[in-house]
């Protein structure tokens, strides 16, 4: 006989871990958390620079591939997604970036009432504990479970050249990308260049599993099942009643007295809805799935960020000088094991910020600068160059193009079709060109020219608009910020969810993860995903205050 819980959460990722913690905290509710992956207690997960080694590891990664993308000259992009406790927060680059205020005001305008900047800012503040430098000493600011650490004193000295280049460009220096803008300036929060703040604590990755799930697992009212593939949401009479899943090939079911909450991410949440008969009726009929609820927008609206990177050879030491040979890597590994310090204790993404391209009213590009040169081998593992080099990268922040995710069969084990539809909007092509001009200018600043020995092929220095767009099409790739495939909105005609993250027309069912975003935020998506989950948990608790318990 299937066991009954108050809430069933599908997916123990950035959002699911937050929900498991918040929904069990009062001790009132029985909660089941189901995760397809296994334990996150792995060396390359915990070590900050180790995400290069989890990038293609099938033990912790879904390793999806998108369909051939016409906007990227027919290239099929690799889409890593976390398949492990902590989800993508266990394999990401650990950048903690809230996004810009207008991102969330746009959410509200799209129908996500109550999700404007003033509200989400307070939620962020409650989540965070900032470990930072203040007047020459380290201090902790805030009391939240998410540790956001200023690692600037551990970053490679070469990173200072990026900040100098930013000054040459007229960009303000940012001590904290997430802080409020200085009064009396025309800049916005996050506008300028600074050191990236990271979800790292005491030299180790601090994932959503660390911050939220580990405390929750000490409570007797939380059950966690890992290594379990959820095959469908069970429904009856227009209501979600439970889930069917498999563990080691054995079918199981669990029932939900209150709600089923999907937190499986921007790829898997729409896939699971469609497998459950909730989605576009024509698609479901095509794959022989009985329609439980015709909801055309499920899987539609996919957004992601594309970035184009260029490498340069340096005439001075970069991170390659510390990690560019096996002997140096062993030395750095020993230093990390003994002290939790050294080059392995800091993510490779070290400087970033939001800037405006020519004529832009708001910051429309995120810049990344890394003091290292590297490549990815055929097996997916990183290969750092022996010679000293560095990377400059630009990412259009607010794309307009939208793609889709659709099931390819009724088999839950078959990956869905991912169609990004990149650069399909004229506005995105124009932004890509302006962003590429900005990269040209950044590489030509006096600060960068002083440390550049050689530009590597392809050299964009002399490219015109046509060549820059073609270069972007040929070389730009995902930075793994998939979102919006079950987005909040006004009605079922333009969205999947209402502003309280409830599936339109289906009782007892919510989606709470990056797929719920109305539009992708300007930067890295881990921070807004955790914020969304924290606010979503408040809504779930409020909406269930007066309903009977599972055991009653």
Residue pLDDT, tens place only, 284-309: 999 999 999 999 999 999 999 999 99
Q: What percent of the chain has pLDDT over 90?
A: 89
The pLDDT confidence band at residue 375, using thresholds 50, 70 and 90, is confident
Mean pLDDT, range 422-443, rounded to an integer:
97
Domains of the chain: total: 1
The pLDDT confidence band at residue 136, using thresholds 50, 70 and 90, is confident
| Residue 314 in domain | yes
pLDDT for the residue 459: 94
Q: How many CA atoms lie within 13 A of 248 on its CB side?
A: 1
Q: Are residues 86 and 213 in contact, defined by beta-carbon separation less than 8 angstroms?
A: yes
Mean pLDDT, range 169-190, rounded to an integer:
77
| Residue 347 in domain | yes
Contacts of 148 by beta carbon, 8 Å cutoff, 6+ apart: 96, 128, 129, 130, 131, 178, 197, 198, 199
| Residue 401 in domain | no
Tell me, what CATH number does 465's domain have? 3.30.410.40
Mean pLDDT, range 30-42, rounded to an integer:
97
Whether 170 has a pLDDT exceeding 80, the answer reads yes
Concatenating the DSSP letter of every residue in 357-418 gives -TT-SS--EEEEEES--EEE-TTS-EEE-SS-EEEEEEEESS----EEEE-SSS-TTSPPEE
| Residue 330 in domain | yes
| Residue 469 in domain | yes
| Residue 535 in domain | no
The pLDDT confidence band at residue 218, using thresholds 50, 70 and 90, is very high
Tokens of 199: 């979800």
pLDDT for the residue 183: 52
Q: Are residues 451 and 493 in contact, defined by beta-carbon separation less than 8 angstroms?
A: no
How confident is the prediction for the chain on average, in pLDDT? 94
Q: Are residues 92 and 51 in contact, defined by beta-carbon separation less than 8 angstroms?
A: yes
Distance (Å, rounded) from C-alpha 278 to C-alpha 262? 13
| Residue 79 in domain | no
Q: Out of 178-187, 259-268, 296-305, which region has the weakest mean confidence (pLDDT)?
A: 178-187
Whether 277 has a pLDDT exceeding 70, the answer reads yes
Task: Check residues 376 and 417 and name the one with the higher pLDDT.
Answer: 417
Whether 551 has a pLDDT exceeding 80, the answer reads no
Q: What percent of the chain has pLDDT over 70?
A: 97
Distance (Å, rounded) from C-alpha 365 to C-alpha 399? 10
pLDDT for the residue 105: 94
Active site residues: 481
Q: Are residues 530 and 208 in contact, defined by beta-carbon separation less than 8 angstroms?
A: yes
| Residue 377 in domain | yes
Name the range with the highest mean pLDDT among 45-59, 367-381, 414-428: 414-428
Range of the domain at 176: 152-195+306-396+423-475
pTM value? 0.96
pLDDT for the residue 182: 57
pLDDT for the residue 552: 46
């Amino acid at each position: 006989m299937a066991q009954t819980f108050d809430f069933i959460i599908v997916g123990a990722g950035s959002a699911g871990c937050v929900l498991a913690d918040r929904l069990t905290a009062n001790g009132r509710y029985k909660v089941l958390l189901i995760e397809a992956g296994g334990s996150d207690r792995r060396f390359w997960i915990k070590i900050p620079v180790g995400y290069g080694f989890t990038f293609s590891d099938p033990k912790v990664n879904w390793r999806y591939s998108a369909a051939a993308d016409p906007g990227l000259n027919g290239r099929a992009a690799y889409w890593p997604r976390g398949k492990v406790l902590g989800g993508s927060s266990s394999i990401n680059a650990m950048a903690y970036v809230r996004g810009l205020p207008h991102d969330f005001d746009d959410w509200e305008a799209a129908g996500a009432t109550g999700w404007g900047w003033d509200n989400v800012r307070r939620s962020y503040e409650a989540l965070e504990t900032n470990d930072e430098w203040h007047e020459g000493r380290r201090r902790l600011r805030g009391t939240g479970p998410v540790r956001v650490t200023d690692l600037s004193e551990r970053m490679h000295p070469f990173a200072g050249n990026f900040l100098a280049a930013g000054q040459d460009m007229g960009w303000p220096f940012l001590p904290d990308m997430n802080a409020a803008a200085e009064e009396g300036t025309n800049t916005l929060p996050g506008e300028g260049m600074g050191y990236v703040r990271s979800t790292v604590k005491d030299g180790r990755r601090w994932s959503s599993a660390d911050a939220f799930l580990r405390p929750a697992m000490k409570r007797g009212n939380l059950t966690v099942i890992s290594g379990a593939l959820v095959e469908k949401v069970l429904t009856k009479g227009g209501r979600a009643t439970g889930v069917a899943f498999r563990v080691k090939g054995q079918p199981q079911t669990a029932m939900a007295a209150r709600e089923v909450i999907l937190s499986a991410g921007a790829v898997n949440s729409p896939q699971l809805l469609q497998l459950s008969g909730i989605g576009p009726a024509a698609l479901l009929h095509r794959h022989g799935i009985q329609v439980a609820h015709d909801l055309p927008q499920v899987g539609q609206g996919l957004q992601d960020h594309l970035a184009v990177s260029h490498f340069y050879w340096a005439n001075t030491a970069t991170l390659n000088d510390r990690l560019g040979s096996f002997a140096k890597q062993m030395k750095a590994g020993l230093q990390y094991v003994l002290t939790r310090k050294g080059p392995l204790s800091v993510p490779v993404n070290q400087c970033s910020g939001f800037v405006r391209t020519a004529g832009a009213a708001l910051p429309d590009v995120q810049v990344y600068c890394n003091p290292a040169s590297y490549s990815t081998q055929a097996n997916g593992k990183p290969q750092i160059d022996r010679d000293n080099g560095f990377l400059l990268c630009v990412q259009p922040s607010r794309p307009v193009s939208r793609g889709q995710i659709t099931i390819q069969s009724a088999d839950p084990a078959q990956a869905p079709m991912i169609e990004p539809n990149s650069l399909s909007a004229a506005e995105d092509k124009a932004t890509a060109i302006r962003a590429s001009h900005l990269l040209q200018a950044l590489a030509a600043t006096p600060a960068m020219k002083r440390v550049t020995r050689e530009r590597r092929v392809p050299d964009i220095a002399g490219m015109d608009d046509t060549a820059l767009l073609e270069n972007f099409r040929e070389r730009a790739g995902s930075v793994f910020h998939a979102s919006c495939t079950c987005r909040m909105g006004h009605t079922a005609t333009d969205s999947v969810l209402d502003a309280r993250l409830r599936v339109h027309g289906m009782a007892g069912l919510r989606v709470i993860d990056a797929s719920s975003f109305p539009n992708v935020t300007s930067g890295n998506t881990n921070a807004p995903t955790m914020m969304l989950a924290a606010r979503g948990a408040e809504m779930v608790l409020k909406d269930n205050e007066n309903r009977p318990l599972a055991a009653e």
